[in-house]
Amino acid sequence: MLSERQARIVETAKREGKVLVDALAGRFEVSVQTIRKDLNELCEQRLLSRIHGGAVLGSGAENVGYDARRAIAATEKLEIGRAAADLVPDRSSLFINIGTTTEAAAQALLHHAGLLVITNNLNVANVMRASPHIEVIVVGGVIRRTDGGIVGEAAVDFIRQFKVDFAIVGVSAIDSDGALLDFDYREVRVAQAIMANARHVILVSDSSKFERSAPVRIGHISQVQSFVTDRCGSEEVRDICRQAGVRLVETAATADPI
């Protein structure tokens, strides 16, 4: 059984994507030690997962809501999106898949000219549709109501008709062994098709994805050509990038690309 405070903490995490120790202590007028104890207990019940300074919704079988995901590391995602867009030259063809970080990349790409963008993300299509310099093709398939993603076998078949210059892909979690993970096997099939039909795959992910888990395997980080993140705190993943020749771009001010 959860205490009333713990239940409200979980509801806040569901609504906002994450909770922070200091903010919760101020909100409930209790000590940070009390909040840390609450978070530890909630994590033991797998309702939350700890991150530095707080916690995120912790189910390994269910993703955070799309609007809440937008709020997680929002500033970092904007920087990641800009850095990913810098890797794509004008007059390129590219896939952009489902995700809030890929949506940030789409926003940054609006300054490009002569792009052909194929996407299974209605949010990306809506961001880019008004640009006179970008042609947008929306993948056919089943629309997922929770986030405007288009998934299913029809989407996979549609994507396989193309061979593009770049793909900008997001994931829900990155394991320390380099596995790229997500929650919906239908979305995973689409992401796999996107990666298989792009000459250069750009993985975009903020550092909180190293602290999350998801049950379905998309592939491995060695299958991408560039990885753009705010900070890679996993030495194992760094080593994999070096060994596989993956370009690692970190947008945090003190980080250097390798």
Which domain range does residue 94 map to? 69-250
d(CA 73, CA 163): 32
Are both 128 and 79 inside the same structural domain? yes
Are both 49 and 94 inside the same structural domain? no
What confidence category does residue 170 fall into, taking pLDDT thresholds of 50, 70 and 90? very high
Instruction: Please give the mean pLDDT across all residues of the chain.
Output: 90
Buried b (16+ CB within 10 A) or exposed e, 206-233: bbbbbbbbbbbebbebebbbbbbbbebe
Are both 31 and 90 inside the same structural domain? no
pLDDT, residue 61, reads 41
CATH code at position 220: 3.40.50.1360
Greater pLDDT, 16 or 250: 250
The answer as to whether 103 is a domain residue is yes
Average pLDDT for 250-257:
65
pLDDT, residue 67, reads 64
Q: What share of the chain in percent tops pLDDT 70? A: 91
Greater pLDDT, 209 or 253: 209
Are both 113 and 191 inside the same structural domain? yes
Greater pLDDT, 139 or 64: 139
Are both 49 and 126 inside the same structural domain? no
Are both 29 and 146 inside the same structural domain? no
Is residue 59 scored above 70 in pLDDT? no
